[in-house]
Structure 1
Amino acid sequence: MSTVNVKGITVGYEDAGGDRPDLTPLLLVHGHPFDRSMWAPQLATFAATGRRVIAPDLRGYGETTVVPGVVTLTDHARDLAALLDALDVPRCVLGGLSMGGQIVMEFQRLYPGRAAALLLADTSAAADTEDGRARRRATADRLLAEGMDGYAHEVLPRMMAPYNIQALPSVAAHVLRMMRGAHPEGAAAALRGRALRPDYRATLAGVTVPTLVLVGADDEFTPVIDAQDIQGRVAGARLVVVPGAGHLPNLERPDDVDAALADLLAGLPAPAVAAQPPTGNS
């Protein structure tokens, strides 16, 4: 794990692979209330191909600075842009799951030229309803009052398909460990900020880069209909419904997700390489 100081905070991140400069780097954005280890299977798979894969902890999560109060999706997106600048990555393939997918949409809204392709997994594009905003704020208050433990155990059967909790005990333990280890102030700040998010459906209509929309077949939080809505708004987007998975198909069915993501990456051109100055005597 590495750290870098950007925008007044310390960001923890993984940065693996990178032996193939002809492959566009891949940046993966975790959801709530997780951390960068959520992407461990994909980090290993795609770094092994030589592609540079970056997986940061978002502001308030993992090893990244906790900022209490309200942290908006705009804050997260700007942190990602600053991290890419610090790592000298002008353009990347950008993927996110759940809240991470909404951060990807916000990044696309703010920096429409920086993503060479998009992965939008188990996420939704519409703004929260009034009831949804109230629930997020109430959950934020609960996390500050009670901590993460009770919440983590309560939502585990919705984060993963319940049958996978029994079938994949090591995955369930990992998911529970991430949730229990999240900082209550960081998680609460992100929930409050997420309640303020805009509607991203107009942003999606302007997307022109290759886009993979992916969802677990048994996702309760962001069901297949939400993924279908996103696919219908992005010209040429591909929809993959992952069988035998809930809200975290990248952990529940990593081989299926890796295959779909590999298909997206295989169709991309090599990144532009800046011309080098001449060397030697002329």
Structure 2
Amino acid sequence: MTTASLTTYDGLDLHVTVHGPDDAPVSVLLAHCWTADESDWHYQVEDLLSRFGHQVRVITWDHRGHGRSSRTPEKDCTIPNLARDLGAVADTFAPDGLLVIAGHSIGGMTITEIPDECPHLLPRIAGLALISTSGGDLHTVTLGLPEVGPMLRDRLPFLLATRARMLSLSRRQRFPMIERTLTRKFLFGQPQKPRDIGHVVDQLIHCPPETWSGFFRDMMAHDRIGSLTRFDGIPTIVLVGSHDVVTPPNHARVLSAGIRGARLVVAPEAGHYLPFERRELVSDELGTLTEGALARAAGSRRAAG
């Protein structure tokens, strides 16, 4: 494992972690959830390395405004910028070979921006995993509460941003009632593991205020449903929890219907945090995509030889 820093086109530093050899024929890029960090994928990184060893390179990074990457001005907290950053990560740390790209929540929305922001990656993509995410119309989400859900949806990010501005990190760590309630009520289905709940609560507490408010505004305007056909023919899996109230199953159905050949899998009783809640499902599906990419890479080598 190596860690590195990458400077974005607008001068921000991204924290990047790379597992595996530089000459791997396939690289797996994992784009994490809003308000989280690269540890969103810690189960899948472990499982992919256990399954494939040095056959693949696995790359995670903290999005701008998240984790150990630079805090980001609110105006620059946009999904197109996340896609440009993804392209820079791929160009720098996986310049050759095939790509399998997975995105959770805003990470999946980032993938839907690839055709517009870094189209040069499209010929290299051998697999896509869109996990608990959406192509647009997030302004219609009710959080499973038709009467008060729209109000909560619009106010919660700004409430948490205000807490981050007004209260110290140590105070929020001592009294994380709002973050814990949000996690249990809206982010996880059943069953809930205390270790995973605590992990996500800690991520929410460490999220900068401009990340809360800036990306929320941009997500409400996000609409890439019309661009999905540019992924036609790429092996694609769309995963969603049946109890996901943040990016509900109907959003996953729109994604899978928009990409020719995409498969849709709905995980019973699961919520929004599938990489934690359904570790085996997510890791197995990523493994299947990676196996397909390795087979394609081997076929290309045989044809060239």
Same fold, judged at TM 0.5 (above): yes
Measured in 1, the distance between the counterparts of 2:254 and 2:181 equals 28
- Give 1:160's aligned residue: 188
- Give 1:43's aligned residue: 45
Provide, for residues 196-241 of structure 1, a one-character-per-residue CA deviation record: whole Å limited to 9, x for no partner: 32x2111112212111111122212122222122111110001122
AA at the equivalent of 1:12: H
Q: Pairwise mapping of residues 1-282 of structure 1 onto structure 2 (< 5 A)? A: 1-7=3-9, 8-18=11-21, 21-22=24-25, 24-48=26-50, 49=52, 50=54, 51-70=56-75, 71-90=77-96, 91-114=98-121, 115-129=125-139, 138-147=155-164, 149=176, 151-157=178-184, 158-161=186-189, 163-165=190-192, 168-197=193-222, 199-208=223-232, 209-268=234-293, 269-270=296-297
Query: For the Cα contact (< 8 Å) 1:72–1:196, is it kept in 2?
Result: no
Query: For the Cα contact (< 8 Å) 1:18–1:53, is it kept in 2?
Result: no
Query: For the Cα contact (< 8 Å) 1:6–1:83, is it kept in 2?
Result: no
AA at the equivalent of 2:181: E
Closer/same/farther in 2, CA of residues 74 and 117 from structure 1, 3 Å limit: same
- Structure 1 residue 189: deviation in Å? 2.1
Measured in 2, the distance between the counterparts of 1:130 and 1:251 equals 26
AA at the equivalent of 1:73: I
TM-score (norm 2): 0.79
Measured in 1, the distance between the counterparts of 2:287 and 2:206 equals 31
Provide, for residues 80-110 of structure 1, a one-character-per-residue CA deviation record: whole Å limited to 9, x for no partner: 1112222242552111011111011012333
Measured in 2, the distance between the counterparts of 1:127 and 1:109 equals 19
Measured in 1, the distance between the counterparts of 2:269 and 2:154 equals 32
Query: For the Cα contact (< 8 Å) 1:74–1:103, is it kept in 2?
Result: yes
Residue segments in structure 2 that go unaligned for 5+ positions in a row: 143-149, 165-171
- Structure 1 residue 45: deviation in Å? 1.4
Closer/same/farther in 2, CA of residues 134 and 217 from structure 1, 3 Å limit: closer
AA at the equivalent of 2:67: G
AA at the equivalent of 1:52: R
Closer/same/farther in 2, CA of residues 135 and 75 from structure 1, 3 Å limit: farther
Residue segments in structure 1 that go unaligned for 5+ positions in a row: 274-282
Identity of matched residues, %: 28
Query: For the Cα contact (< 8 Å) 1:242–1:257, is it kept in 2?
Result: no
**Aligned alpha-carbon RMSD (Å):** 2.5
- Tell me the secondary structure at the aligned position of residue 252 of structure 2: helix
TM-score (norm 1): 0.85
Instruction: Count residues with an aligned counterpart.
Output: 268
Measured in 1, the distance between the counterparts of 2:120 and 2:88 equals 15
Query: For the Cα contact (< 8 Å) 1:137–1:195, is it kept in 2?
Result: no
Query: For the Cα contact (< 8 Å) 2:141–2:245, is it kept in 1?
Result: no
Query: For the Cα contact (< 8 Å) 2:83–2:118, is it kept in 1?
Result: no
